[in-house]
Structure 1
Amino acid sequence: MSLPTHIDNTPLLTLLALTIVLLHGDLTRGPGPVSAVTIRGLGATFPYSVYERWQAAYAIHRRAHQLVSISYEKTGSGTGRSWIIKHPVLWDFAGTDVPLSQDEMTKAPDLVIFPTLAGGVAIAYQLPMCKSTEGRRLNLSMEHVVGIFNGTITMWNDDALKPLNPNCPFPDEKIRVVARAQKSGTTSTFTSALSAADDNWNATFGVFSQGMNPDTYEPYHWKPGMTMVSAATHGTKTGIPAVLPQPEMVRNTSRLDT
């Protein structure tokens, strides 16, 4: 399959996502002022770009008192929560877009939880003939978004999209929908919004964070045939944060040879 050559970074829908950190209490290793301290974290990809800058700034701020090395692996919220609970000796903190469940809090009562940042979840699209820079910005209602993700709107030239987009010359092409393959807090935030907007979505799909079954290459909850992104990177040429698929990390669940 081919990846987008153009992604319009004007948000069609922006949802508030809150990222929290699960922190082990003792990060003060090292007996003297120049002893090196290594702090290891993992978890949600959503805050990765922010954490990356904070890590460098904090290390500079503390270096007169303590040599600090901080790392953060973007594994996804689910993996982050799971690993810090199962392997507390290996990990000092984890980022997650989804709060701990009661069961998780029971398993790890020593974790300290606090919010770190909030941001928007936006939908990116590849439709060169409907660029916002040319006054042809694509407009979608929540009804449209639900329809695209539940499979009732499958073509760009569907009549349902035309009233809000009179200046957009829609092509007679299928809409290829992309979602995260990993268990993701961003997926949970997004499907929570879809569930709140549409009773049928809530009854059929509900709120979920799971992506693709690694054994069957089929989505756990998304409609069959979804393109699943198993890794992502952040950033666009405009400097606006975005999550874009990497060519070697995209698998289409409807065709395993894609």
Structure 2
Amino acid sequence: MTELSSVSALLAIYFFLAFASSSVSLDLVGRGASFPELVYLDAAFFYNLYNPDVSVTYYPTGSGSGKAAIQQDPPEVDFAGSDSLLKDSEYDAYPDLQMFPTLAGAVVPIYNIPEIAQSGITEPLVLDRIVLADIFLGAITKWNDARIVADNAHLSGILPDQNISVIVRLDKSGTTEIF
């Protein structure tokens, strides 16, 4: 082997080792729905743990914010989380977007009626879907409305003559949208 070819061979080995040992890093950033936040953060932690050259970060900013970020040109994020589906118009405007189910969960209303707790009755308040819809539509406004009492005989005389306060998020929340 000539001296020139030995130097060439050493240079080749040097460059091979230098580039083979350098790591390529990738930063993936997502944002969107707050509902799956803990699952996504755990998944990102373990993915990062076993793939140190990849960093996955998720910011729970709300479904509307996540959808808006991924629909920018260029997109502000690599992926977005949303509780609500993309509309046909969004699929038409952004044909490369795809939705993949990652998590399922229940969305339930909560209530605070101190009179029920004070009564000692342990059976819960029952709100069927028609009654619940009418509460959100403003057609039922009092806790002692006849339609609520009809489904809750065990609470007859206990439900107060008080206004129902409906509280929802004002931002573009996917959870509120699917409810």
- TM-score bracket for this pair, using the shorter chain length: 0.7 to 0.9
In the alignment, what sits opposite 1:174? 163
Percentage identity across aligned positions?
Answer: 38
> Alpha carbons of 1:106 and 1:188: their partners in 2 closer, same or farther (altered >3 Å)?
same
Q: For the aligned residues, what is the CA RMSD?
A: 2.4
Matched, 1:184 2:173: yes
In structure 2, C-alpha distance between the alignment counterparts of 1:60 and 1:44, rounded to whole Å: 24
Look up the equivalent residue of 1:77 and give its one-letter code: S
Deviation at 1:176, TM superposition (A): 0.4
In structure 1, C-alpha distance between the alignment counterparts of 2:35 and 2:96, rounded to whole Å: 24
Deviation at 1:174, TM superposition (A): 1.0
Matched, 1:52 2:41: yes
In the alignment, what sits opposite 2:110? 124
1:167 match: secondary structure = helix
Matched, 1:38 2:27: yes
Aligned with 2:94 (options 85, 91, 108): 108
1:70 match: secondary structure = strand
In structure 1, C-alpha distance between the alignment counterparts of 2:148 and 2:98, rounded to whole Å: 46
Matched, 1:61 2:13: no
CA deviation map 1:191-225 (0-9, x unaligned)? xxxxxxxxxxxxxxxxxxxxxxxxxxxxxxxxxxx
Consecutive unaligned residues in structure 2, runs of 5 or more: 1-19
1:53 match: secondary structure = helix
> Number of residue pairs matched?
156
Deviation at 1:44, TM superposition (A): 1.6
Matched, 1:85 2:71: yes
Look up the equivalent residue of 1:73 and give its one-letter code: Y
> Alpha carbons of 1:150 and 1:106: their partners in 2 closer, same or farther (altered >3 Å)?
closer
In the alignment, what sits opposite 2:132? 145
Which structure shows the bigger proportion of residues in strand conformation? 1
1:73 match: secondary structure = strand
Deviation at 1:134, TM superposition (A): 4.7
Deviation at 1:185, TM superposition (A): 1.9
Look up the equivalent residue of 2:47 and give its one-letter code: Y
> Alpha carbons of 1:49 and 1:127: their partners in 2 closer, same or farther (altered >3 Å)?
farther
Which structure shows the bigger proportion of residues in helix conformation? 2
In structure 2, C-alpha distance between the alignment counterparts of 1:56 and 1:116, rounded to whole Å: 16
Deviation at 1:166, TM superposition (A): 2.4
Deviation at 1:84, TM superposition (A): 0.7
Scaled by the length of structure 2, what TM-score is found? Answer: 0.74
Scaled by the length of structure 1, what TM-score is found? Answer: 0.54
Deviation at 1:144, TM superposition (A): 1.2
CA deviation map 1:224-253 (0-9, x unaligned)? xxxxxxxxxxxxxxxxxxxxxxxxxxxxxx
Consecutive unaligned residues in structure 1, runs of 5 or more: 1-30, 191-258
- In our comparison, the structure showing a higher alpha carbon Rg is 2
1:144 match: secondary structure = helix
